[in-house]
Amino acid sequence: MFKPRLQRESKVQTPRQLLLFSTIFFLFSVFIGAIITVHPLYLNQFLEKAELVGLVAAISSLAGMAFSIPTGVLSDKLGRKRLLIASFILLSFVLLVFFLNTSLYALIVLQIAFGFAMAPAWIVSEAFIKDISPIGRRGEFRSVFGTFANAGMFVGPVIGGLLADRFEIRTPYLCSAILLLASLLLVFKLKDYNRNSTRNAKSNGIRREDLLAVLKEFRQHRELNVLALCTVALFFWYSAKWVFGPLFLHHLGYGPFVIGVWMGISAAPFLLFQIPLGKIGDRIGKTKLIYLGFVISAVCIIPLGFLTSLPSLLVTIFVISLGTTFVEPLIEARVTDIAPRERYGAYSGILEFAKTTGSLLGPVSSALFVYLFGISYSFIPSVILFILTLALFLYTRQSLCKVSTSLPIRTP
């Protein structure tokens, strides 16, 4: 009787923890969304040239890359909750210093610190959702979390743009720092479902052997490698949009509030369709929807940099984001299907490495195109990478299907 009772309590607690955790990341995304909207304009005050803004913006992604895999392994050892608390505190401090800073040299250091502070938050978020997702509902659980997070990314840019318009470009940094600290009250109510952290409580360090074992295991699985590449392509586009979207709209003469609305609209499809698509992915297969999403986004990114009217810009970014809504949550859910439970944190770290790789390459590649051809061409590298990823994705899926059909059928 004792074990079934614990199982019943766990089933009741899991949806509550999903709701609590999703609420925390709704607030987190509001604060980050407010910063993302004004950050390229903030950097532009120091650097003046759009291509230099792209290069400096990429520094935070480089810092995230360096710490993502070790952080994922550490979350398996220490637990998710401790790292999340540390990340929130450090990030609040960095945002406060952004608000006060007037030095270009300090700005470089702050970009590094920002990437270092952000990495644990996103790694822990994906690992925690993997911990609590029931088999058969992984797409749904990841989509619920993603809907809350993207609701924050819908609201945050509008708030950030409004604050910058009404007050000053630095105001969102101060507000986000204060409110992020306040949200820690909710973090303390979380339960850590990572059983591995209790088992490894006496060996909290990260050994080189741990990292090598995780990387070797991940590399040997072909589908995981392709999903990692899909993640790189997805965040390549996100970073190009976050950095050069505001600069492109500013070039067209639109102010911070309109830029915030445009960024908010880009998150709207995640609010409307992410949960239904997660449920559909659980039923008909996640890879089919991932492929469809890449096709929709690649086709619609092509004309984006050559549009000028606000309605066409809003409609196009909405459709592009609809495509990415098919992709992002289902990649994470598919990885959860494949990954061993005791490695959820480490695999989340590897995917975070893929995300930060895309976030690093996106601004750098787009900055090169801006330098050579002008700001209207800033989104073309994303199209190229999406098409290459689609081709590899299709090739790998066909190869896996051939292997599965060629295997002999064993009879008892």
Q: What is the pLDDT of residues 20-44, one digit of tens each?
A: 888 888 989 888 888 877 888 888 8
Share of the chain above pLDDT 90, in %: 9
Mean pLDDT of 79-94: 88
Rounded to whole angstroms, the Cα distance separating 87 from 353 reads 17
pLDDT at 196: 52
* 384 three-state secondary structure: helix
DSSP secondary structure string for all residues of 22-88:
HHHHHHHHHHHHHHHHHHHHHHHHHH-SHHHHHHHHHHHHHHHHHHHHHHHHHHHHH-HHHHHHHHH
DSSP secondary structure string for all residues of 236-281:
HHHHHHHHHHHHHHHHTT--HHHHHHHHHHHHHHHHHHHHHHHHHH
Superfamily assignment of 2-189+212-406 in CATH? MFS general substrate transporter like domains (1.20.1250.20)
Rounded to whole angstroms, the Cα distance separating 359 from 406 reads 39
**CB-based contacts of 341, cutoff 8 Å, min separation 6:** 130, 131
pLDDT at 407: 37
Rounded to whole angstroms, the Cα distance separating 267 from 146 reads 10
Say which residue the tokens 């993302």 belong to: 36
Residue 160 contacts residue 34 (beta carbons within 8 Å):
yes
Rounded to whole angstroms, the Cα distance separating 207 from 343 reads 15
| Spans of all domains in the chain | 2-189+212-406
Whole-model pTM over 0.75 = no
Please check the confidence at residue 17 and state whether its pLDDT lies above 90.
no
Mean pLDDT of 288-315: 89
Mean pLDDT of 257-271: 83
Residue 32 contacts residue 150 (beta carbons within 8 Å):
no
